[in-house]
Chain A
Amino acid sequence: MNRIVTKEEFSKNPSVKMMQIEAPRIARKAKGGQFVVFRLNETGERVPLTVADTDPEKGLVTIIFQEVGKSTMALGALEVGDCLADFIGPLGQPTHMGDFGTVLCVAGGIGIAPTHNIVKALKANGNKVISIIGARTKDLLFWEDKMRDLSDELYVCTDDGSYGIHGLVTKVEQELLEKNRESGEIGLVIGIGPPIMMKFVCKTSEPFGVQTLVSLPTIMVDATGMCGACRVTVGGETKFVCVDGPEFDGHKVDFDEMLKRQGIYLEQEKVAVERYQHGNDCGCCDECGGDQ
């Protein structure tokens, strides 16, 4: 159960990794936009990750993660054949599917992963998809080929100009929406990536009046609607990302509040990383033999 079947490192600094997990039921059931929760071991925390891809036939679920804290670092340290204590899902609402005409998907960094699964679903539902993928620098880009295969048009950007278009994803988004003013074919924008990027994807699309969905990566515990750790304000109302989301109307999301809430455990996160990187004792040099 929950066995790691493949593992690949996409980039080193920061470390981004891809894993395929053996989870046949989830692989059959998960739809675009949904997420899973993993727990490494008995002392582990519950961490949500959006599904990047599924292979229902082989019973595999693909996750892509950046090593930002102790849990993702420890996950990245596991090897093929290792098992996760828990791999729970699919959770959250799938991306609402309908006839949107053309959908513009804007993905930043690690956000390329969930976007891929959504684009897959959108295409299966007969939509035309234009995708923009971007990252800080060339090394942090991944799945360009997969995204190209799925999308009707693909634009690739890097912040530093090391590959593709030099600039932020929102620059291309702006241009495409300008062009769209006349044709009006883009009926939906989906923006997924770091919170700050999603905020600006929404700011960019707002003047054009095009509906924009974002997928929110909030902190969660049970992820079944029980605790409210993931709450966000959407249109003045409190929503739970785990059961009402993870996708919301980006023009109504209070991103500033969400960004503040994302920082609740920064201090503890530092302690945990320190402890993880320096062995399991006090996190010190161990010269005192534990006396101090």
Chain B
Amino acid sequence: MAEEKKVNKAKKLPRHPMPEQEAKVRARNFEEVPFGYSNETAMAEASRCLRCKKPKCVEGCPVNVKIPEFVGLIADGDFIGAAHKLKETNALPAVCGRVCPQESQCEALCVLTKKGESVAIGRLERFAADYERKQGEMQLPKIAPATGKKVAVIGGGPAGLTVAGDLVKLGHDVTIFEALHKTGGVLVYGIPEFRLPKAIVQAEVDYLKSLGVKIVESYVVGRIETVDELLERFDACFIGTGAGLPVFMKIEGENLNGVYSANEYLTRSNLMKAYLFPEYDTPIVKGKRVATFGGGNVAMDSSRTALRLGAEKSYIIYRRSMDEMPARDEEIHHAGEEGVEFLLLANPERLIGDEKGWLTGVECIKMELGEPDESGRRRPVEIPGSEFVVEVDTVVVAIGNGPNPLVPSTTPDLKTNRWGNIDADLETGKTSMTGVYAGGDIVTGAATVIEAMGAGKKAAVAIHEYLQDT
């Protein structure tokens, strides 16, 4: 009886909102949007958790975070304990709490969703991780005695960082080779400061260093050293080079000045800090009327970055409807609040420029939804004669990324599929080459941070097993 009362009470109690910067204000600055929970709110939110005996939420998590345990610790006020519990399975909780699509993973399976709102697992994860970081003292886990085995991790993004963290704890000698001058992959070049402050990524990277992971930045594997050469001095390799090849629309005018791939636009702004130009040297076109093509998280990040760079109009142009948008609900919601305008069921057909080569507009055609396609989403179909022009001076193409070919193309024995993704076992990361493992977007195509981390976790287990036998 008492149990039932508790359930009913929790169902009635709404999820606690997370305070955030006011939309109009934040649309003009690069500070993080939400402020996070206070200690009291976190405890109140955590106490909504029913601590199910067979927690469904854990199954929804690609790295199987011990959700009821860490949420329970927060409810009890043991915030540090909660952070440590998180770190048992997730090396980057402060990141995941911010960028995971919880509504389609852990929170989607929360039993409370049946009659109300799920426990705000993501917000609690973020709270616990932030609490620990702010305390300054990061507890170091036990590191197994040195095995003498050396592992090269190519790519310092979410997959690589996870592999490195797991393997170093098992006593292996791990070196991350990062092509850019900052480690973090998409966490530093792609996801904007207002959604994921770079200081947080840096803290996570520093944590890995404190565990003994070596990091070599500005080292482009494939050019300065090939995978085959690395295998001469390492016992195993993990390739997590991500989906770093921008896809363009292949329409007229795409090389006009003012047209960016989302990768370039975001890299300039995030990694190179072009929003701080001229204090930082890298420039960026600060368009007054910006259109972003696409409906994913990257498109939301781009359109919101445009506002912060001073755009008067920032459009999302997406060929399906709001319901099919792949972005996280929170990102779409935040973008709308900040003033991003959605031109839905519209497909860009042609980019128009002036004689000096600068973009002046985009011609779109209206679409309607037809039968569902292989992805299960209703296929957009052009409405003949419905062309219209939107005046813009900047366009950001955010329709996806292919696998970066640099490593596959310089590793002859590494098998890839017809799209150029590395052929790897999804359970182990094993590739066609002995001792070479791969995971994350380079294997699956563009996906999420947490899925890449999940792949990293599995690969770490497999690499550890492989190293036992060598």
Contact = CB atoms under 8 A, between A and B. Distances in A.
Given A226-B263, A275-B278, A268 B283 contact: yes
B283 A265 contact: yes
A11 B10 CA distance: 77
B267 A226 contact: yes
A71 B281 contact: yes
Nearest to A264: B257
A229 interface: yes
Contact of B406 (A85, A86, A224, A269): A224
Interface string B207-227: 000000000011110011100
Interface string A50-93: 00000000000000000000110000000000000111111100
A221 B220 contact: no
Contact of A87 (B218, B248, B405): B218
Contacts of A272: 277-278, 281, 283
B268 interface: yes
A257 interface: yes
Contacts of A39: 181
A226 B271 CA distance: 13
Nearest to B286: A268
Contacts of A260: 257, 356-357
B282 A243 contact: no
B180 interface: yes
Nearest to A280: B279
Contact of A228 (B223, B225, B263, B280): B263
A244 B97 CA distance: 38
A286 B268 CA distance: 30
Contacts of A89: 220, 223-224
Contacts of B248: 228, 238
A242 to B, nearest CB: 10
B278 A271 contact: yes
A225 B405 contact: yes
A1 B62 CA distance: 40
A253 to B, nearest CB: 12
A153 interface: no
Contacts of A222: 179-180, 189, 244, 267
Contacts of A43: 273, 279-281
A257 B181 CA distance: 30
| Most chain A Cβ neighbours within 10 Å, of B225, B246, B258, B283 | B283
A68 B272 CA distance: 20
Interface size class of B (residues with CB under 8 A): 35 or more
A71 B277 CA distance: 13
Given A87-B218, A222-B180, A227 B279 contact: no
B245 interface: yes
A86 B179 CA distance: 11
B285 interface: yes
Size class of the A contact interface (CB-based, 8 Å): 35 or more
Given A260-B356, A261-B257, A265-B283, A224 B179 contact: yes
Contacts of B356: 260
A45 interface: yes
B281 A45 contact: yes
Contacts of A226: 189, 244-246, 263, 267, 404
Contacts of A257: 255, 357
Interface string A13-32: 00000000000011001000
Given A222-B179, A261-B257, A29 B281 contact: no
A70 B278 CA distance: 10
A231 interface: yes
A87 B224 CA distance: 12
B264 interface: yes
A227 B406 contact: no
A264 B281 contact: no
B261 interface: yes
A225 B406 contact: yes
A263 B257 CA distance: 9
Interface string B184-218: 00000100000000000000000000000000011
Contacts of B283: 45, 265, 268-269, 272
B278 A227 contact: no
A137 interface: no
A45 B282 contact: yes
A235 interface: no
Contacts of A45: 272, 280-283
A44 interface: yes
Interface in B320-356: 356
B425 to A, nearest CB: 26
Nearest to B263: A227
B254 interface: yes
Contacts of B357: 257, 260-261, 263
Contacts of A199: none
Contacts of A229: 264
A211 interface: no
Interface in B215-267: 217-220, 223-225, 244-246, 248, 250, 254-255, 257-258, 260-261, 263-264, 267
Given A221-B268, A233-B255, A260-B356, A228 B179 contact: no
Given A89-B224, A264-B257, A221 B282 contact: yes
A264 B254 CA distance: 14
A231 B256 CA distance: 10
Interface in B392-441: 404-406
Interface string A182-204: 00000000000000000000000
Contact of A224 (B244, B272, B277, B279): B244
6 contacts: A29-B225, A43-B280, A222-B244, A227-B263, A228-B261, A272-B281
Given A25-B225, A70-B281, A228-B260, 6 more contacts: A86-B218, A222-B189, A225-B245, A226-B263, A229-B264, A260-B357
Interface of B: 179-181, 189, 217-220, 223-225, 244-246, 248, 250, 254-255, 257-258, 260-261, 263-264, 267-268, 272-273, 277-283, 285, 356-357, 404-406
**Which 7 A-B residue pairings sit nearest by Cβ, starting from the closest?**
A260-B357, A268-B283, A227-B264, A226-B244, A45-B281, A45-B282, A228-B261
